[in-house]
Amino acid sequence: MKLHPLLIVALVLCSGFATASWAAGRAYITNQGSNNVSVIDTASNKVIATIEVGKAPVGIAVAVRLARVFISNVEGQSISVIDSKTNQVIDTLAVKGSPVGLALAPDGSVLYVADWFANQVLAINTGNLQEQKAITIGLAPAGLLVSRDGKRLYVANRDSNDIGVIDTANLTVIAHIAVGKHPYSMALSPNDATLYAVNVKSNNVSVIDTVSNQVTNTIKVGEHPYSAVVSTDGAHVYVTNTQSDDVSVIDATQQKVIATIPVGAYPEGIDFDDATQQVYVASWADNLVSVIDASSNKVTENIATGLQSRAFGQFILEAAY
């Protein structure tokens, strides 16, 4: 088939544009104090956009398939929906409660929202945001996590000191796993077999077998730990310690801390970039993101963001393939 010269030009332009706009991953960082989101290109580690959202944004969930980023504005009592292709807010959903943690079904079809004050989790159809279901859970639900197979939703109930386990097929609570004091967030191994719950007030991480829903070990970390993430290969777990201003690196096999990395003050959210093998840590007190090279466990860069960066949740949107 012979193509018209103009069509060839158009095709070349289109493919060029697509490559240029989507070469690397993006870290979306919520800034509580400046009511916006900093977008960091994980290849260059530069802020490439700043997006105004609602009041006191905290939680984040990214949906690669939908090209959407969801932000919880805890004081604005809303969810901002960002189109990750344009980095524009395309919708804002009012929520009656105080949305904190967010998580998405692996296919992006359902957004789960932890409602701190109402002690419930909302399940929102991302295709029709008005279609919502509420699930009653423990006290002060904070962090949420969906298993990679999509079958389980884990909820960190801060004030009831347990992890709620929800069967996503029928949205029923099938277990409450007692953990340490004030569990705030969680991380999962790549095979969904091991859940790590971060206990703020007991300065440790509970290791949970997701088949038996039993705690198998407890690992001491730094002061007032907040968030955790597991490396692509599952070998390491990184935990932010908000009051010792560092990140504990846990060897998943030995189940002990093998390194402690100083980062920006009051580190909160943490995520792992599979493409570049870098760990991104939001510093609430220093208004920046510290970047750790996972091979050396050293901070390679500190990127200035907005005021009081939190970045609570899975905030790195991997490059689209």
Partner 1 sequence: MKKFLTLIVIAMLPLTATAHGPSPQKLEKEVVIKADPAKVWAIVKDFGNMQKWHPLVASDKLEQKKDENGEAATFRTLTLKDGGTIYEKLGTINDADMKIKYYIVSGVLPVKDYNATMGVKAGPGAGETTVTWMARFYRKYSLNPPIPPGEDDESAAKAVTGVFDSGLANLKKVAEGK
From 30, 32, 34, 38, residue interacting with partner 1 (rule: CB under 8 A): 32
- What 8-state DSSP symbol labels residue 158? G
Q: Which of 40, 81, 100, 208 binds partner 1 (CB under 8 A)?
A: 100
Least CB distance from residue 241 to partner 1, whole Å?
A: 11
Contact region with partner 1 (CB under 8 A), list: 13-21, 35-43, 129-137, 197-205? 197-205
- Considering just the CA atoms, what is the radius of gyration of the chain in Å? 19
262-268 contacts, C-beta under 8 A, 24 or more apart: 262/299, 263/290, 263/292, 263/299, 264/288, 264/289, 264/290, 264/302, 266/242, 267/226, 267/240, 267/241, 267/242, 268/226, 268/227, 268/240, 268/242, 268/309, 268/310, 268/311, 268/312
Which of 41, 49, 75, 259 touches partner 1 by CB under 8 A?
75
Site for partner 1 contains 260 (CB under 8 A): no
106 binds partner 1 (CB under 8 A): no
Q: Which stretch binds partner 1 (CB under 8 A): 37-45, 71-79, 81-89, 190-198?
A: 71-79
Q: How far apart are CA 225 and CA 271, in angstroms?
A: 15
Q: Is 56 in the site for partner 1 (CB under 8 A)?
A: yes
Establish if 129 lies at the interface with partner 1 (CB under 8 A): no
Told to check if 316 binds partner 1 by CB under 8 A, we report no
Q: Counting contacts by CB under 8 A, is residue 121 touching partner 1?
A: no
- Determine which residue in the list 134, 201, 299, 302 makes contact with partner 1, applying CB under 8 A: 201
3-state secondary structure of 18: helix
Q: Does 215 participate in binding partner 1 (rule CB under 8 A)?
A: no
Could you tell me the two tokens for 154? 């884990």
Q: Distance between CA 314 and CA 120 in Å, rounded?
A: 20
Contacting residues toward partner 1, per CB under 8 A = 32-33, 56, 58, 74-75, 77, 98, 100, 116-117, 140, 181, 201-203, 223-224, 243-244, 265-266, 284-285, 308
